[in-house]
Amino acid sequence: MDHYGKQSTAALGPPPAGPDLDRRLDVLDRELSGPGSHTGPDTGPDTGLDTGLDTGLDTMPQPRIDLAHLPHPRVPGDGPSGATTGDPEDRLAAMERRLRRLEQLAWGDGADLTELDVTDPELVTLAKSAEYAQTLSRMLVTPRVRAACEQIIEAARQWQEWYDYARDTAVAASRTIATTRADQQRHREAAQVFEAARAELAVLLPSRRQTMNTAHNARQQLAHDHEVRERYGHEIAEGHRAWATLTTRLRIRTSSAVERGEPMPTWLVESLGVPPNAGSAGWRELATQLLAYRLTYAVPDQAHPLGEEPGTADSPRRRQWYRDLDRQLAAWRGGA
């Protein structure tokens, strides 16, 4: 589910450590958690965050978060951040985790939100570009079809050469026959050549219609493929690059979540099980594909990784992708 609005602010970077951030986090904590739920010390008046919160959470601009700063659940050790002792890097990491948790609460669904559930608008843009390229690519001939078309065209060219040769030979022989006497050697030789050419034409002619029609269709397919490539080649190339970027970022996000011991979404654990480690290539790749599918089609289902089965109103691309992933999930469960 996309928790981001169309009008997003600039990407959040690592929050600066210091008393001011401590105070801002405590203020945001009180605003989001409600009266009496804040256990940290009172750090003063609500300064610095009034503009963002006075309008209400439902209308608050949704932040855009870089891959390295996705929402992170709060851990028991993350107490009030007002203390100024301890290692600065540890304090910074603790405050980052706390801020991410508060952001989850601000989006209104923090209780069930995990890092892999949060949708970055940039990822959505990549997914849309990749999906558009896939739709366009379906209009292109596959390498296998292209090779078949080229073979058909070449076969038709050879047929035409054989036919033309046999026809021209028969015509030339008939002229010789017509201009010579029957007792002449040239006449007898021409008669033999004519009969051979006529026999060759008798073999070729029955396949003429099918050969020519098939070659015509093959040429049309290749011409259409060329037209699509000329017209949409840039979009297709951009979409292929977007797909590579999307899967790479999702793969990194998944591996990072596993390495940090982040909670996994219910749909992911139920379908693939708990990941043994970040280096489990099979688990990671299938999880990446599932994330890409859910992101592309905005699947909100928290029980089933693919949501409802696509119907006839959905694109052929989505129906085929659903079937492919469903088969992979069945194979994974069977081999688990």
- The pTM of the full predicted model, rounded to 2 decimals, is 0.55
Does residue 245 belong to any structural domain of this protein?
no
Which pLDDT tens digit goes with each residue over 270-286? Answer: 888 877 654 578 888 99
The pLDDT value given to residue 171: 95
What does residue 92 show for φ and ψ, rounded to 5 degrees?
Answer: -65, -45
Structure confidence at residue 302 (pLDDT):
85
Residue with the larger pLDDT of the pair 67 and 37: 37
Phi-psi label, residue 266: left if phi above 0, alpha if psi -120 to 50, beta otherwise = alpha
Residue 125: pLDDT over 60: yes
Residue 141 has pLDDT above 70, yes or no: yes
Alpha-carbon distance of 91 to 82, in angstroms, equals 10
* Max CA separation in the chain (angstroms): 127
Is the predicted pLDDT of residue 43 greater than 70, yes or no? no
Distance of alpha carbon 225 from alpha carbon 305, whole angstroms: 35
For residue 38, tell me if it sits in a domain: yes
Give domain status of residue 84, yes or no.
Answer: yes
* pLDDT of 12 above 60: no
CA distances from residue 163 to 196, 200, 212 in whole angstroms, order as listed: 13, 8, 12
* Neighbouring C-beta atoms of residue 79, cutoff 10 Å: 11
Residue 123, in any domain of the structure? no
> Looking at the predicted structure, is the pLDDT value of residue 116 above 60?
yes
Using an 8 Å Cβ cutoff, are 322 and 309 in contact?
Answer: yes
Neighbours of 235 (CB within 10 A): 15
Instruction: Decide if 98 is inside a domain.
Output: yes
Both tokens of residue 283?
A: 């688990």
Checking if the pLDDT of 269 tops 50, the result is yes
> Which pLDDT belongs to residue 237?
94
Nearest to 180 by CA among 194, 166, 191: 191
96 found inside a domain: yes
What is the overall mean pLDDT for the chain? 75
Whole-Å CA distances, 55 to 52, 59, 60, 108: 7, 6, 7, 15
Query: Which band of pLDDT confidence, cut at 50, 70 and 90, is reported for residue 265?
Result: confident
Q: Tell me if 180 is assigned to some domain.
A: no
Q: Is 68's pLDDT higher than 70? A: no
Torsions phi, psi for 46 (to 5 deg):
-80, 80
What is the model's pLDDT at position 60?
33
> What number of CA atoms fall less than 13 Å from residue 290's CA on the CB side?
29
pLDDT of residue 280: 75
Q: Which domain holds residue 35?
A: 19-113
Number of domains in the chain: 1
User: Does a structural domain hold residue 89?
Assistant: yes
Give the DSSP per-residue string, 233-282: HHHHHHHHHHHHHHHHHHHHHHHHHHHTTPPPPHHHHHHH-S-S-TT-HH
pLDDT at 97 over 50: yes
Q: Kindly tell me if the per-residue pLDDT of 99 is higher than 90.
A: no
Mean pLDDT lowest for which of 54-63, 235-244, 291-300?
A: 54-63
Residue 62 predicted with pLDDT over 70: no
The span from the first CA to the last CA of the chain, in angstroms, equals 28
